[in-house]
């Protein structure tokens, strides 16, 4: 805006000089001026409806893909491998050197565009070109018809003064409007916000989910804006809760967001305050009051105001996405919040309760895409805990995740990757979906967690898994579950001392006990497992120590072999006792029941002795993990 305003004023201030103003416009020639996004999209619509494209849906899909990615500012993603996956449905095993489909179709697309502009599109004001040797399109505007003549321009002084004043006033008004709508004139590239738990001012413990949900709604709105890096912490140190500055500095964030929620029947007040970490100065605070049915709009307005206050310009497409979120019915959102609240507690009973709330949320309003995604994840975790049979969980999770992806593919590819890999054992699809999810959502910790835990670990790519977890820790440094995951990966990589240190830091005694048992410290490992009542884990430690009778007694104290997802644990005990056949028989039974822990056979240190066995290798092949490397 500043550049265009300066050039306009410069032209006015030079009017006092004698100069020739060429009143010339060229039709048929092209100009370097780029068309607007709506002009380009309109051109795409005309092109795909034209004769050269009418019978080629694949070329039309190719054109729409490269144009939309370019308009979204993601032209660096337009590469041969991505086009093969997104446009031509090629899998993870696609090799450009073995297939020329993308290059061939690009030549066809270039030729069809030339045919269109030579005939139907001869007078089209907007041109879309695909340069040779590239996949990123170029957009141009056509100029008008040539009119010849030279005009000497020298307006009177009073007119110049009026025009300058008018332009300055219009510029100031447009600058204010631009800030109000989109953010500052000179925006920052990225900010990091720490979002602390909001305070519940209602005084009713039953409303805890409501305050939790309001905060998650705001966090979800900020995630729509990629230039905002979020740290949504739930566990600030009690002695520091009153010092937003200290928390922000500790987490290396530029700003800290605090909030409070008060609900009185159908009326709600949301208060939000932003503090600059470096100075401790409150840079912005405001509140929104209204009926509970207006909460989505209230949160969107507050989210936009916070973004502007920290120097972020909100783009039109991001405002559009926020508007789409506002369309979901409030009753659906409330059930969704209750589901999130229960899911965050992560016990088997809470996950089952969360599933029920998510099902009610999507029943009220099927447009709530995160309701579908979280419903799929609930079924995955219920299957992992043997609460729901795996076939039923797989079917329902697949149905739910497809509904989520249909609404917003870029956000929910991660959930579909979990279903593809862990429930369906389709690892090629899972790898493509989870990897793509981290590219589309680089600032979402969950995408990196899923990629590490549900693809890289099963494949035995532990170094890459650690890197993905470390990236997630940059985004969520206070997430305890991330530390536990990191400790498990270190243990699987054979770094037992580092695993013990990480597990102790995270407060994960089971990981500490398993690592100590592998190091030969059987006494302490046994004490931890016995204190937890983990009979099968205790039996495994006895077996490692060579105490066969104690191992069998402890295994007998565990749950019956036909209940729960326990056959993998029983197989580990038999393997430690040196009973290979019994261990492999247990793994066969685990396979018949689709125990989800089989996904980690490649890396589980308890099965190191079995890995060379042909039956074990055959098991890896049946699960689809034979290509992984431990």
Please tell me the predicted confidence (pLDDT) of residue 546: 93
Question: What is the length of the chain?
Answer: 630
Angle, alpha carbons 357-360-363 (nearest 5°): 150
Please tell me the predicted confidence (pLDDT) of residue 326: 59
- Model confidence pLDDT, tens digit, residues 481-515: 899 999 999 999 999 999 999 999 999 999 999 99
Model confidence at 83, pLDDT cuts 50, 70, 90, reads: confident
Lowest mean pLDDT, pick from 130-134, 140-144, 185-189, 510-514? 185-189
Model confidence at 116, pLDDT cuts 50, 70, 90, reads: confident
Average pLDDT (221-237) is 74
- 32, pLDDT greater than 60: no
- 2, pLDDT greater than 50: no
Please tell me the predicted confidence (pLDDT) of residue 24: 30
Average pLDDT (530-555) is 93
**Which domains, from first to last, does the chain contain?**
30-142 (no CATH), 192-204+212-304 (3.40.50.10070), 533-630 (no CATH)
Please tell me the predicted confidence (pLDDT) of residue 20: 30
- 168, pLDDT greater than 70: yes
Residue of higher predicted confidence among 95 and 82: 82
How far is Cα of residue 464 from the mean position of the Cα atoms in its chain? 18
Query: Among residues 367, 430, 381, 437, which one has the least CA distance to residue 628?
Result: 430
Average pLDDT (62-81) is 85
Residue of higher predicted confidence among 247 and 28: 247
Please tell me the predicted confidence (pLDDT) of residue 159: 66
Greatest mean pLDDT among 53-57, 102-106, 187-191, 243-247 lies in 102-106
Please tell me the predicted confidence (pLDDT) of residue 101: 83
Model confidence at 30, pLDDT cuts 50, 70, 90, reads: very low
Within 10 angstroms of residue 549's Cβ, the number of other Cβ atoms is 8
Please tell me the predicted confidence (pLDDT) of residue 426: 93
Lowest mean pLDDT, pick from 86-100, 288-302, 601-615? 86-100
Contacts of 11 (CB under 8 A, 6+ apart): none
Please tell me the predicted confidence (pLDDT) of residue 466: 96
Please tell me the predicted confidence (pLDDT) of residue 7: 34
In whole angstroms, give the CA distance from residue 367 to residue 332. Answer: 9
Please tell me the predicted confidence (pLDDT) of residue 75: 83
In whole angstroms, give the CA distance from residue 351 to residue 345. Answer: 8
Residue entry with tokens 């996949």 = 135
Average pLDDT (362-386) is 92
- 197, pLDDT greater than 50: yes
Please tell me the predicted confidence (pLDDT) of residue 589: 92
Residue of higher predicted confidence among 94 and 485: 485
Average pLDDT (329-355) is 89
Contact 140, 157 (CB under 8 A): no
pTM exceeds cut of 0.85: no
- 176, pLDDT greater than 60: no
Average pLDDT (203-213) is 82
Average pLDDT (207-235) is 82
Model confidence at 6, pLDDT cuts 50, 70, 90, reads: very low
In whole angstroms, give the CA distance from residue 458 to residue 74. Answer: 31
Please tell me the predicted confidence (pLDDT) of residue 221: 85
Please tell me the predicted confidence (pLDDT) of residue 174: 60
- 93, pLDDT greater than 80: no
Please tell me the predicted confidence (pLDDT) of residue 477: 82
| Percent of the chain predicted with pLDDT > 70 | 84
Contact 301, 277 (CB under 8 A): no
Contact 30, 141 (CB under 8 A): yes
Model confidence at 430, pLDDT cuts 50, 70, 90, reads: very high
- 360, pLDDT greater than 90: yes
Greatest mean pLDDT among 159-163, 474-478, 592-596 lies in 592-596
- Total H helices, total E strands in the chain: 28, 11
Residue of higher predicted confidence among 1 and 344: 344
Strand partners, 271: 260, 287
Strands 138-142 and 199-200: unpaired
Query: DSSP code of 36?
Result: P
Residue of higher predicted confidence among 187 and 153: 187
Lowest mean pLDDT, pick from 202-211, 256-265, 271-280, 451-460? 202-211
Average pLDDT (80-108) is 78
Residue of higher predicted confidence among 90 and 376: 376
Please tell me the predicted confidence (pLDDT) of residue 560: 63
Average pLDDT (275-283) is 89
Average pLDDT (603-617) is 93
- Compute the mean pLDDT over every residue in the chain, rounded to the nearest whole number: 82
Please tell me the predicted confidence (pLDDT) of residue 184: 52
Please tell me the predicted confidence (pLDDT) of residue 325: 59
């Amino acid at each position: 805006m500043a550049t265009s305003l300066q050039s306009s004023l410069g032209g006015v201030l030079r009017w006092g000089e004698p100069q020739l103003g060429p009143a010339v416009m060229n039709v048929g020639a092209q100009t370097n001026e780029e068309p607007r996004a709506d002009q380009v999209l309109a051109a795409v619509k005309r092109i795909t409806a034209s004769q050269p494209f009418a019978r080629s849906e694949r070329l039309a899909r190719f054109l729409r893909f490269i144009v939309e990615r370019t308009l979204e500012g993601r032209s660096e993603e337009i590469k041969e491998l991505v086009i093969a996956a997104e446009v031509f449905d090629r899998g993870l095993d696609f090799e450009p050197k073995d297939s020329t489909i993308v290059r061939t179709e690009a030549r066809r697309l270039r030729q069809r565009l030339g045919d269109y502009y030579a005939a139907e599109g001869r007078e089209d004001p907007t041109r879309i070109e695909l340069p040779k040797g590239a996949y990123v399109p170029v957009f141009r505007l056509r100029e008008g018809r040539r009119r010849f003549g030279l005009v000497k321009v020298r307006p009177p002084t009073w007119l110049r003064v009026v025009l300058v004043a008018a332009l300055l006033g219009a510029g100031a008004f447009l600058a204010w409007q631009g800030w109000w709508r989109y953010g500052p004139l000179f925006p920052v590239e990225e900010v990091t916000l720490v979002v602390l738990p909001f305070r519940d001012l209602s005084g009713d413990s039953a409303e805890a989910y409501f305050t939790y949900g309001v905060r998650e709604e705001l966090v979800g709105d900020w995630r729509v804006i990629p230039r905002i890096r979020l740290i949504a912490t739930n566990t600030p140190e009690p002695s520091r809760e009153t010092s937003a500055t200290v928390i922000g500095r500790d987490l290396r964030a530029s700003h800290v967001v605090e909030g409070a929620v008060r609900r009185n029947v159908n009326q709600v007040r949301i208060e939000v305050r932003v503090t600059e970490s470096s100075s401790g100065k409150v840079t912005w605070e405001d509140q929104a009051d209204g009926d509970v049915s207006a909460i989505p709009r209230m949160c969107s307005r507050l989210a936009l105001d916070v973004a502007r206050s920290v120097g972020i310009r909100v783009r039109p497409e991001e405002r559009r996405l926020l508007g789409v979120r506002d369309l979901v019915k409030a009753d659906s959102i409330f059930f969704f919040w209750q589901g999130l609240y229960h899911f965050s507690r992560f016990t088997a009973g809470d996950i089952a309760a969360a599933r029920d709330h998510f099902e009610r949320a999507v029943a009220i309003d099927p447009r709530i895409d995160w309701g579908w995604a979280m419903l799929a994840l609930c079924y995955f975790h219920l299957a992992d805990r043997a609460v729901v049979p795996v076939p039923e969980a797989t079917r329902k999770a697949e149905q739910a995740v497809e509904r989520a992806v249909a609404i917003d593919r870029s956000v929910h590819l991660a959930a579909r990757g979990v279903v593809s890999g862990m429930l369906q054992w389709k690892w090629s699809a899972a790898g493509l979906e989870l990897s793509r999810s981290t590219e589309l959502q680089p600032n979402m910790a969950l995408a990196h967690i899923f990629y590490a835990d549900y693809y890289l670990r099963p494949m035995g790519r532990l170094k890459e898994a650690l890197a993905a977890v470390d990236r997630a820790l940059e985004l969520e440094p206070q997430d305890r579950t991330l530390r536990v995951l990191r400790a498990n990966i270190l243990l699987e990589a054979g770094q037992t001392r580092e695993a013990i240190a990480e597990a102790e830091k995270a407060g994960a005694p089971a990981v500490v006990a398993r690592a100590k048992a592998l190091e030969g410290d059987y006494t302490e490992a046994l004490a931890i497992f016995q204190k937890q009542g983990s009979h099968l884990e205790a039996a495994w430690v006895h077996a490692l120590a060579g105490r066969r009778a104690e191992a069998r007694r402890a295994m007998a104290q565990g749950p019956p072999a036909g209940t729960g997802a326990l056959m993998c644990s029983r197989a580990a005990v038999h393997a430690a006792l040196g009973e290979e056949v019994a261990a492999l028989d247990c793994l066969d039974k685990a396979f018949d029941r689709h125990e989800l822990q089989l996904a980690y056979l490649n890396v589980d240190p308890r099965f190191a002795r079995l890995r060379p066995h042909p039956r074990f290798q055959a098991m890896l092949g049946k699960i689809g993990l034979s290509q992984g490397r431990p």
